[in-house]
Amino acid sequence: MNTEPIQTPFDKFRTTVRPEWIDNNNHMNMGYYMVVFDEATDDWLNYIGLDSVHRLTNEITTFCVEGHITYDMEVRVNAPLHFKTTLLDFDEKRIHYIHEMYHGTEGFLASTNELMSLHVSLATRRAAPMHGEILVRLREIKAAHDQLPPLPQAGRHIGLRQKK
């Protein structure tokens, strides 16, 4: 079990925009946003206790069952990136969280990724309850993250506003 102090929000993952991630518009291609958010998710899951040892020992994993990315400002080649993650909610089988991607030196919000992860048994390939120590850790993180101001990107949906 991870006993790291609670970070509010979780703030660990760093990376740099690689040349091979750049598209014809001379900025990071949208597909690579998901790649870096997935890497940030790995750090997040380790932090809450769902690390590789826990997954192997308990024959579990997580599946992403829903996600939403916002593209707030473009990032270009070699831009340093840092990520903050906030736990929005959880239950015994699901974890709802949002990543914020910031430019590492200029500080602007570049993108967000809101996700719902499902805790899954590898034996059955079905949803399975998380172990008690993971749920305790999530309760501690949620109590801390509930003190953060709400993120306007969380809970958004895609649609056109209808004219009246």
Q: What digits encode the pLDDT tens for the residues 97-124?
A: 999 999 999 999 999 999 999 999 999 9
Answer yes or no: is pLDDT of 61 > 70: yes
State mean pLDDT over 43-62: 97
Task: State the pLDDT confidence band at 1, using cuts at 50, 70 and 90.
Answer: low
Does the pLDDT value for residue 164 go beyond 80?
A: no
CATH fourth-level superfamily of 14-145: Hotdog Thioesterase (3.10.129.10)
> What one-character-per-residue DSSP string does the chain give?
---PPPPSSB---EEE--GGGB-TTSSB-HHHHHHHHHHHHHHHHHHHT--HHHHHHHTEEEEEEEEEEEE-S---TT-EEEEEEEEEEE-SSEEEEEEEEEETTT--EEEEEEEEEEEEETTTSSB-PPPHHHHHHHHHHHHHHTTSPPPTTTT----PPPP-
159 pLDDT exceeds 90? no
Q: Give the model's pLDDT for residue 49.
A: 96
**Whole-prediction pTM:** 0.94
pLDDT in tens, 33-49: 999 999 999 999 999 99
Percent of the chain with pLDDT over 90: 91
